[in-house]
Amino acid sequence: MSENQQKTMVQEVPLTDDMFERIGTEGLSGEDIGKQSLTYWADVWRRFRSNKMAILGLILLIAVICLLFIGPTLSGKDYQFIDASIKNTPPNSEYWFGTDDMGRDLFTRVCVGGRVSIYIGLCCTLVMFVIGSLLGALAGLKGGIVDDLIMRLCELIGNLPYLIIVVILSMVMGRSMFSLVFAMSLTAWVGTTRMVRGQILQIKEQDYVQAAKALGADTGRIIIKHLLPNTLGIIMVDVTMSVPGFIFSESFLSYIGLGIRPPETSWGALASAGQQQLMFYPYQLFFPCLLIVITILSFHLIGDGLSDALDPKLRQ
Amino acid sequence: MAEKEVLIEVKDLKKYFNVGKKAVLKAVDGVNFKIYKGETLGLVGESGCGKTTCGKTVMGLYEATGGQVIFDGVDIHSLHKKEKKEFTKRAQIIFQDPYSSLNPRMTVEDIIGEGIDIHGLYKGEERRQRIHQLLEMVGLNKEHALRFPHEFSGGQRQRIGIARALAIEPEFIVCDEPISALDVSIQAQVVNLLIKLQKELGLTYLFIAHDLSMVKHISDRVGVMYLGSMVEFADSDELYSKPLHPYTKALMSAIPIPDPKAEKEKKRIPIEGEIPSPINPKPGCRFAARCKYATEACKQTTPELTEVLPGHFVACHRVKEVNALGL
Q: Among A40, A213, A221, select the one facing B61 at the smallest CB separation.
A: A213
* Residue B306 maps to a domain: no
Domain of A265, CATH number, reads 1.10.3720.10
The pLDDT value recorded for residue B1 is 43
B118 and A37 in contact by Cβ < 8 A? no
> What number is the ipTM of this complex?
0.82
Q: Let me know if residue A173 belongs to a domain.
A: yes
Task: Tell me whether residue A83 is in a domain.
Answer: no
Residue B75 sits in a domain whose CATH number is 3.40.50.300
Provide the pLDDT for residue B206. Answer: 92
Structural domain containing residue B184: 6-259
- Flag whether B195 is in a domain: yes
- Tell me the shortest Cα–Cα distance from A2 to chain B, in angstroms: 45
- In-domain check, residue B279: no
Closest CA to B271 of B237, B299, B247, B294: B247
When divided into structural domains, chain A yields a total of 1
Each residue's pLDDT tens digit, B136-170:
888 888 888 888 888 888 888 888 998 999 888 89
Q: Is B108 on the interface with A (CB under 8 A)?
A: no
The answer to whether position A232 is within a domain reads yes
Checking A172-175 for CB contacts under 8 A at 24+ apart, the result is: A175/A258, A175/A259, A175/A260, A175/A261
> Is there a domain that residue A47 lies in?
no
Residues of B numbered 219-248 whose beta carbons fall under 8 angstroms of chain A's beta carbons: which are they? Answer: none
Does residue B310 form part of some domain? no
CA distance A44 to chain B (A): 11
Q: Which of B84, B149, B85 is nearest to B112 (CA)?
A: B149
Q: Is B157 part of any domain?
A: yes
Does B108 reside within a domain? yes
In a 3-state reduction of DSSP, which class is residue B172?
strand
The set of residues, in sequence order, having a beta carbon less than 8 Å from that of B187 and lying 6+ positions away, is B179, B211, B214
Question: For testing the chain B interface, which of A32, A37, A204 should be mutated: the one with the most B CBs within 10 Å?
Answer: A37
Cβ contacts of A37 on chain B, cutoff 8 Å: 107, 146-148
Is B80 within 8 Å of chain A by CB? no
Does residue B214 lie in a domain region?
Answer: yes
pLDDT, mean of residues A216-228: 84
Residue A139 lies in a domain: yes
For residue A163, give its domain range. Answer: 64-74+105-314
- On chain B, the residues whose CB falls within 8 A of the CB of A31 are 141, 143-144
pLDDT tens track of chain B, all 327 residues?
446 788 888 888 888 888 877 788 888 888 888 899 889 999 998 888 888 889 889 888 888 888 888 888 888 888 888 888 888 888 899 998 888 889 888 888 889 999 898 888 888 888 989 999 888 888 888 888 888 888 888 888 888 998 999 888 899 999 988 888 777 877 888 888 889 889 988 899 999 988 888 888 889 999 998 888 888 888 988 888 888 888 888 888 888 888 888 878 877 777 777 777 878 777 788 888 888 888 888 888 888 888 888 888 888 888 887 776 654
In a domain, B1, yes or no: no
Q: Per the CB < 8 Å rule, is B141 touching A215? A: no
Query: Residues 6 or more apart from A146 whose CB is under 8 A from it?
Result: A138, A139
pLDDT in tens, B80-112: 888 888 888 888 999 988 888 898 888 888 899
Asked whether residue A149 is assigned to any structural domain, the reply reads yes
Chain A residues inside the 8 Å CB shell of B100? 206-208
Nearest to B105 among A32, A211, A229 (CB): A229
- How many separate domains does chain B show? 1
A277 assigned to some structural domain: yes
Nearest residue of B to residue A208, measured between CA atoms: B101
